[in-house]
Structure 1
């Protein structure tokens, strides 16, 4: 059953060194505040999972928190590559991470398999693709009914999943509006989950079927207004495009990156996110 707590408390109680962790969100509601708290607490040796790793994974990798990345796309959306990820893979700075690359379809199905308690996901995919040549976790099975050859990948079962949402009620029920990616499946597949929200309300004022995650499926809920910045939160604030553009130059140089991380992550708090979206609310 969901418990309400501060983000530092939620991270300390639910994430351990060596864990497999997912920080999911698709184009918006990306849990930046949670990732920053993980960096501040110095948790290391993480296996990170995400369909679309972007800035927060670049930051986690650059700060040496990651040993492995399981993903289906990695980049600074609308800008280009992830420079800290590339530096790690190509040059081993600050450490050389292991990568396991999949398709979007494989990741989505793997989350669903994990949520269903299945050992692997089976789907039509990878036809004509060569990714299986570099990823031994892409295999095939034969349908016992039709004889059709199908792709198979291991189920994704994170130790902990972090997501951001618009609101939660006081019973712990979570409402996600706008684009919904695999947040529900990622939470249900995980042993533990931490949900940061823009606000906590007495009533979600929506149809029960619109409640993406009921309180009994969530471990911790944390009030962190602006916690998705620089991504957007539908109905609350728009995407901070300038931050994504600026990140490319910030991440290009190791010293510049470390200085930015000190000023904006290590020396900050979850409460700082509310101030970061003030200008976005005004412009909305």
Structure 2
């Protein structure tokens, strides 16, 4: 059953050194505030899982918290490379990063399998491609009914999943709308979960046709963090801060400028900074 906690308490309670952690969000509702709190608390030896790791994971990797990344695409969307991730893979700075790459279809099916408490995912894919040659976790199984050979990957079962959502009610039920990615599956597949939200309401009211409701019994902790997805966007609250994604290419390119920015804007900042950032951007965007 969901508990209402502060962000520092939620991360301290649910994220542990050595954990496998999924911080999901597909362009929309990326949990930046929670990820930054993980950095401030210096959680170590993490295995990170995400379909599309972008700037947030670049920051976690660059701060030396990550030993392995399981993913299906990585980059600064619309801009280019993740320089801190690339430095870790190519130069082992700040230390060596192990990578396990999959297709989007494989990752989505692996989250589904984890949510269903199955040991692996079965799907049609990986035919005529090279990823199975470099990823031993991509295997195959023969259908006992048709004889068809199908691809398999291990189910994703994080120790903890972290997502950002739009709203929670007073009972701890959570609502997402818009592009929802695999946030629902990430929470259902995990042993523990943290959900940051834009606001806490008495009732969700009218909702879009694709709205997803996570019942309170599926959620470990609910935390109100206004602006908690910035610089990504939260539908109906604020737009994507495209200027930041462009600026990150310069900030992260060199180790010294990266560390200086992280020290000033993450290490010595806090969750309330996200609300201020989101408000400033919302005003500038009008």
Q: Give the structure-1-normalised TM-score.
A: 0.98
Take 1:27 and 1:64, find their aligned partners in 2: how far apart are those partners? 24
Secondary structure, in 3 states, of the residue corresponding to 2:137? coil
* Number of aligned residue pairs: 284
Q: Where does residue 127 of structure 1 map in the other structure?
A: 127
Kept in 2: contact 1:195–1:221 (CA 8 A): yes
Q: Where does residue 196 of structure 1 map in the other structure?
A: 196
Q: Give the structure-2-normalised TM-score.
A: 0.98
Q: Where does residue 174 of structure 2 map in the other structure?
A: 174
Residue-by-residue CA offset, 1:226-284 (whole Å, 9 max, x unaligned): 00010000000000001000000111000000000000000001011000011222224
Q: Where does residue 149 of structure 2 map in the other structure?
A: 149
Q: Where does residue 260 of structure 1 map in the other structure?
A: 261
Unmatched 5+ stretches in structure 1 = none
Q: Choose 172-181 or 57-66, whichever is displaced more.
A: 172-181
RMSD: 1.1
Kept in 2: contact 1:173–1:211 (CA 8 A): no
Cα offset for 1:209?
A: 8.7
Take 1:227 and 1:95, find their aligned partners in 2: how far apart are those partners? 28
Q: Where does residue 17 of structure 2 map in the other structure?
A: 17
Secondary structure, in 3 states, of the residue corresponding to 1:75? coil
Cα offset for 1:212?
A: 2.4
Q: Where does residue 226 of structure 1 map in the other structure?
A: 227
Q: Choose 12-21 or 202-211, whichever is displaced more.
A: 202-211
Unmatched 5+ stretches in structure 2 = none
Take 2:219 and 2:251, find their aligned partners in 1: how far apart are those partners? 35
Kept in 2: contact 1:115–1:189 (CA 8 A): yes
Q: Where does residue 163 of structure 2 map in the other structure?
A: 163
Kept in 2: contact 1:193–1:219 (CA 8 A): yes
Kept in 1: contact 2:177–2:210 (CA 8 A): no
Take 2:52 and 2:212, find their aligned partners in 1: how far apart are those partners? 24
Residue-by-residue CA offset, 1:205-233 (whole Å, 9 max, x unaligned): 14699442111100000000000010000
Take 1:88 and 1:279, find their aligned partners in 2: how far apart are those partners? 33
Take 1:204 and 1:220, find their aligned partners in 2: how far apart are those partners? 19
Matches within 5 A, 1:100-115: 100-115=100-115
